């Protein structure tokens, strides 16, 4: 089974959406045995907190539950435990590459979320501090990318 880690700054907005949407996609397509997702943040600001209510609402509107998710910070051990680690924006990827240098074992593939999905070097915007429309827009961006990411990871 392939393992993928989605990473944003606080692990309460974008990466929980990606985790929930990816796992939902895999289950709905009957391929949950092929890959699973987790999420984390580059900062420790929200460790132990559930996803942001805006992300929970945006996911729920798409029929996806983020129940049971809690924020955690990326750990050096993640680079050995995951096959692919995707940052939601270029700053996340830079932070991941710095942390990867500290990992004594394991070299997960690190990339930008939308780049891995074949959509180029574009950031997924951070909806933090914005209204519901921003969370809905981010959910749509992530939702369009997830099938390509799943196909690339399991293909």
Q: Which of 8, 13, 89, 111 is catalytic?
A: 8
Annotated catalytic residue 72 = no
Annotated catalytic residue 89 = no
Annotated catalytic residue 14 = yes
Upper half-sphere CA count for residue 77 (Cβ side, 13 Å):
2
Q: Which of 38, 89, 126, 152 is catalytic?
A: 126
Q: Alpha-carbon torsion 85, 86, 87, 88, what sign? A: negative
Catalytic positions are 8, 14, 126
């Amino acid at each position: 089974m392939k393992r993928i880690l989605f990473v944003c700054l606080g692990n309460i907005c974008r990466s929980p959406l990606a985790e929930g949407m990816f796992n939902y996609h895999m289950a709905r397509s009957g391929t949950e045995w092929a890959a699973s997702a987790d999420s984390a943040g580059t900062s420790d600001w929200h460790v132990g907190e559930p996803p942001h209510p805006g992300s929970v609402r945006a996911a729920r509107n798409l029929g996806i539950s983020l129940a049971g998710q809690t924020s955690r910070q990326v750990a050096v051990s993640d680079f050995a435990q995951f096959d692919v680690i995707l940052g939601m924006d270029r700053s996340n990827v830079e932070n991941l590459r710095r942390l990867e240098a500290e990992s004594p074992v394991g070299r997960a593939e690190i990339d930008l979320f939308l780049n891995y999905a074949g959509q180029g070097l574009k950031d997924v915007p951070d909806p933090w501090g914005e209204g519901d429309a921003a969370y809905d827009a981010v959910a749509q961006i992530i939702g369009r990318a997830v099938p390509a990411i799943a196909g690339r990871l399991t293909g």
